[in-house]
């Protein structure tokens, strides 16, 4: 009998952080992933976070940054967006493991009698379930990278650290690579790097039974070799395994920093393949990102939370990417939607008028929405390129409906409009009563059919498209005559025709909006066509 071909053993890379969080552990991990992918491997990534939240859907975007949505409709945090951008793969519900979700699953099982009278404990029940999640997330991948949120020694992260230590027993130590990213501060007064916090972090990690195979020292400026050697000596690690990753201008240059650091040799040994990664396209993108072009486009981002890049991470990344491939510099101007509300003639209004293009990103709640409607209306009237994303489409429709005669047009979301009958945007079927609950919106990938001959179809070069979603309200098609009168037509609908997914202004330089979030699908090496064409129009 022919023997079944044995499935190739997946290799696991576990990335933990020491000293401080927020020093680029995720980007370092994703950069290693990008390099391995450039060697031709199927690489996937997963984040384990010790929050007690079940998902990121209800987290405040100002505090926690953008809510990223996976193709299968899970609301996660912006790290997964980085993973998708660096590895050019689609994350899923398996790519995020929050303590809250693990506890919920365990407690639900306990309540339904699933443990048959056994005591339920962090070890082994929590740690086993984490390991199951890691195996599930790595199905079919050659290399799976797991980032553990927070820093070593955090009280709440201990069970995850124990789980990844135990994981080596399951799949073999040789199939696991442990990476520790530690921060090494530069003390300006004494003009020296201080390695003690890193040493302590590595000592803690050792105390939990993990001796890392790679230590990445993150520094503000390049650190001399002796710093790495000192850490290696104190931590009992091979000196070539301690590398330096100093700050650089763009996160997209981190893969090159990682390559330069010597990490590739260790990765090669780990996977038993010393072929060169094909970094050509990364190099091309990095060159464009770092180049100063003659032409600059000024894009106004009309938003509720201004100045915080994290809150609109995918939007700003998609714009930067599209600008680079269009060979223009991007001047991103944050415009506070609330400030636009008073009069078009104030500071915010002037800022808006100085822009080559306007983006209204997604958003929730009434605050600043009149300003967003004003921005859409201005773009529509003045032939200024406009890109509306989710709420950005809804406000564009409200603006057009008002122009087309429905003076009190509004959205059901923004409080009681006096004349409820003029809710151009209304709540979707089945959504009533769920307005502030988690995981209940229309989430994830949904297909749309684009109108043949529309500009939207031309931009996508396709009439069947799939985009990610995160919304509760939709366009009420009863108002289409007025909206059309106001200058906007529907250019894409859900396959059953019930939901409007795309709109455009036909006689406009560029006025495109969608109920979806195309920014979630823009990748540095595969920029999104809507963003590319938007920036192209702004160049004119
Ligand atoms: N608040 C709107 C809705 O729920 C838009 C959502 C969004 O922009 N993501 O439909």
Ligand 1 centre to CA of 469 (Å) is: 9
Closest ligand 1 atom to Cα of 470: 9
CB-based burial label for 221 (10 Å; 0-12, 13-18, 19+): exposed
Query: Residue 402 to residues 407, 424, 485: CA-CA distances in angstroms?
Result: 5, 10, 10
Bridge-based pairing state of the strands 500-504 and 511-514 = antiparallel
Ligand 1 centre to CA of 403 (Å) is: 22
What's the mean pLDDT in 66-89?
Answer: 93
Alpha carbon nearest to ligand 1 atom 3, residue: 471
Closest ligand 1 atom to Cα of 428: 10
pLDDT score of 505 more than 70: yes
Q: In angstroms, rounded to a whole number, what is the distance separating the alpha carbons of residues 68 and 318?
A: 14
pLDDT on residue 343: 67
pLDDT score of 115 more than 60: yes
Closest ligand 1 atom to Cα of 361: 8
CA dihedral over 229, 207, 45, 83, signed as positive or negative: negative
Phi, psi of 517 (to 5 degrees): -120, 80
Q: Which CATH number fits domain 292-538: 3.20.20.30, 3.60.20.40, 3.40.50.880, 3.40.50.720?
A: 3.40.50.880
pLDDT score of 11 more than 60: yes
Stretch (H or E) spanning 302: strand 296-303
Ligand 1 centre to CA of 471 (Å) is: 4
Closest ligand 1 atom to Cα of 389: 8
Q: In angstroms, rounded to a whole number, what is the distance separating the alpha carbons of residues 54 and 102?
A: 8
Task: Tell the residue number behind the tokens 């330069």, with chain if given.
Answer: 260
CB 514 within 8 A of CB 390: yes
CB 7 within 8 A of CB 171: no
Query: Residue 199 to residues 184, 220, 297: CA-CA distances in angstroms?
Result: 10, 18, 46
What secondary structure does DSSP assign to 417-429, as a single string? -SSGGGEEEEEPT
Q: In angstroms, rounded to a whole number, what is the distance separating the alpha carbons of residues 267 and 269?
A: 5
Query: What is the rounded radius of gyration, in angstroms, for the C-alpha atoms of the chain?
Result: 25
What secondary structure does DSSP assign to 409-470, as a single string? -EETTSS--SSGGGEEEEEPTT-TT-TT-TT-SEEEEEEEEEPTTSHHHHHHT-SEEEEEEE
One fold for both 11-284 and 292-538?
Answer: yes
Q: In angstroms, rounded to a whole number, what is the distance separating the alpha carbons of residues 332 and 320?
A: 9
Q: Which two tokens stand for residue 44?
A: 């996937």
Range of lowest pLDDT (57-71, 263-277, 321-335, 509-523):
57-71
Range of lowest pLDDT (105-119, 318-332, 341-355):
341-355
Ligand 1 centre to CA of 236 (Å) is: 52
Alpha carbon nearest to ligand 1 atom 5, residue: 391
Identity of the highest mean pLDDT range in 60-64, 416-420, 435-439, 521-525: 521-525
Q: Where are the domains of the chain?
A: 11-284, 292-538
Closest ligand 1 atom to Cα of 441: 4
Ligand 1 centre to CA of 364 (Å) is: 5
58, 315, 363, 432: residue to mutate for ligand 1 pocket, most atoms within 8 A of CB: 363
Phi, psi of 229 (to 5 degrees): -65, -40
Alpha carbon nearest to ligand 1 atom 6, residue: 471
Q: Which residues are bridge partners to 45 per DSSP? A: 145
Q: In angstroms, rounded to a whole number, what is the distance separating the alpha carbons of residues 448 and 517?
A: 13
If phi over 0 gives left and psi between -120 and 50 gives alpha, with beta otherwise, what is residue 81? alpha
pLDDT score of 1 more than 50: no
Q: In angstroms, rounded to a whole number, what is the distance separating the alpha carbons of residues 410 and 433?
A: 19
Range of lowest pLDDT (231-245, 344-358, 458-472):
344-358
314, 365, 472, 476: residue to mutate for ligand 1 pocket, most atoms within 8 A of CB: 472
Ligand 1 centre to CA of 185 (Å) is: 42
Closest ligand 1 atom to Cα of 474: 10
pLDDT score of 77 more than 50: yes
Phi, psi of 452 (to 5 degrees): -55, 135
What's the mean pLDDT in 137-148?
Answer: 96
Q: In angstroms, rounded to a whole number, what is the distance separating the alpha carbons of residues 465 and 468?
A: 10
Ligand 1 centre to CA of 103 (Å) is: 29
Q: Which CATH number fits domain 11-284: 3.30.70.270, 3.40.50.300, 3.30.565.10, 3.30.200.20?
A: 3.40.50.300
If phi over 0 gives left and psi between -120 and 50 gives alpha, with beta otherwise, what is residue 117? left
Q: In angstroms, rounded to a whole number, what is the distance separating the alpha carbons of residues 313 and 311?
A: 6
Bridge-based pairing state of the strands 511-514 and 386-389 = parallel
What secondary structure does DSSP assign to 310-329, as a single string? GGGHHHHHHHHHHHHHTT-E
Give the pLDDT confidence of 169-226 residue by residue, as tens digits. Answer: 999 999 999 999 999 999 999 999 999 999 999 999 999 999 999 999 999 999 999 9
| Residues above pLDDT 90, as percent of the chain | 84
Map residue 492 onto helix, strand or coil: strand
Measured between its terminal Cα atoms, the distance across the chain in Å is 68
- Residues having CB closer than 6 A to ligand 1 are 362-364, 390-391, 413, 470-473
Alpha carbon nearest to ligand 1 atom 8, residue: 362
Residue 418's CB is within 10 A of a number of other CB atoms, namely 8
Known catalytic residues are 390, 517, 519
CB 29 within 8 A of CB 145: yes
What's the mean pLDDT in 238-255?
Answer: 94
Give the pLDDT confidence of 354-396 residue by residue, as tens digits. Answer: 999 999 999 998 899 999 999 999 999 999 999 999 999 999 9
Range of lowest pLDDT (280-294, 335-349, 374-388):
335-349
Task: Tell the residue number behind the tokens 């529907």, with chain if given.
Answer: 490
Say if residue 124 is preceded by a cis peptide, omega within 30 of 0.
yes
The band of 430, judged by pLDDT with boundaries at 50, 70 and 90, is confident
Alpha carbon nearest to ligand 1 atom 1, residue: 364
pLDDT score of 5 more than 60: no
pLDDT on residue 434: 83
The band of 23, judged by pLDDT with boundaries at 50, 70 and 90, is confident
What's the mean pLDDT in 485-500?
Answer: 97
């Amino acid at each position: 009998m022919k023997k079944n071909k044995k499935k190739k053993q997946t290799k696991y890379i576990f990335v933990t952080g020491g000293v401080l969080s927020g020093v680029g552990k995720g980007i370092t991990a994703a950069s290693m992933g990008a390099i391995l992918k450039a060697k031709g491997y199927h690489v996937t990534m997963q984040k384990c976070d010790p929050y007690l939240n079940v998902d990121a859907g209800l987290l405040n975007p100002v505090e926690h940054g953008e809510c990223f949505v996976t193709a299968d409709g899970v609301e996660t945090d912006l790290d997964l967006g980085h993973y998708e951008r660096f590895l050019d793969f689609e994350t899923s519900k398996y790519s995020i493991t929050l303590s809250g979700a693990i506890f919920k699953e365990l407690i639900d099982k306990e309540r339904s009698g699933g443990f048959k009278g056994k005591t339920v404990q962090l070890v082994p029940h929590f740690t086993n379930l984490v390991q199951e999640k890691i195996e599930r997330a790595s199905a079919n991948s050659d290399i799976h990278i797991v980032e553990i949120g927070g820093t070593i020694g955090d009280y709440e992260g201990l069970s995850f650290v124990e789980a990844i230590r135990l994981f080596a027993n399951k799949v073999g130590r040789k199939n696991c690579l442990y990476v520790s990213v530690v921060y090494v501060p530069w003390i300006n007064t004494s003009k020296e790097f201080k390695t003690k916090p890193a040493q302590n972090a590595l000592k803690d990690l050792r105390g939990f039974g993990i001796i890392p195979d790679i230590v990445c020292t993150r520094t503000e400026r390049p650190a001399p070799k002796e710093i790495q050697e000192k850490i290696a000596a104190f931590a009992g690690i091979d000196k070539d395994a301690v590398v330096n990753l100093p700050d650089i201008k763009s996160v997209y240059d981190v893969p090159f920093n990682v390559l330069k650091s010597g990490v590739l040799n260790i990765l090669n040994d780990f996977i038993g393949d010393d072929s060169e990664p094909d970094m050509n396209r990364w190099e091309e993108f990095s060159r464009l990102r770092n180049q100063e072009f003659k032409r600059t486009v000024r894009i106004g981002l009309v938003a509720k939370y201004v100045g915080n890049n994290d809150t609109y991470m995918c939007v700003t990344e998609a714009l930067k990417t599209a600008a680079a491939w269009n060979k223009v510099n991007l001047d991103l101007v944050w415009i506070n939607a609330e400030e636009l509300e008073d009069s078009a003639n104030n500071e915010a209004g002037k800022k808006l008028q100085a822009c080559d293009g306007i983006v209204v990103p997604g958003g929730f709640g009434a605050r600043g929405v009149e300003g967003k409607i004003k921005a859409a209306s201005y773009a529509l009237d003045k032939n200024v390129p406009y890109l509306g994303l989710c709420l950005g489409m809804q406000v564009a429709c409200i603006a057009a409906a008002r122009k087309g005669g429905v003076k009190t047009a509004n959205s059901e979301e923004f409080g009681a409009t006096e004349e409820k009958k003029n809710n151009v945007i209304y709540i979707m079927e089945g959504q009533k009563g769920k307005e502030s609950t988690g995981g209940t919106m229309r989430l994830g990938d949904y297909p749309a059919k684009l109108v043949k001959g529309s500009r939207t179809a031309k931009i996508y070069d396709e009439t069947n498209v799939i985009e990610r979603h995160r919304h509760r309200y939709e366009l009420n098609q009863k108002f289409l005559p007025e909206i059309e009168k106001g200058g906007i037509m529907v250019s894409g609908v859900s396959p059953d025709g019930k939901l409007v997914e795309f709109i455009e202004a036909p006689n406009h330089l560029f006025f495109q909006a969608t109920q979806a979030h195309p920014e979630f699908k823009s990748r540095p090496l595969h920029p999104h066509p809507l963003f590319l064409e938007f920036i192209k129009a702004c160049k004119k």
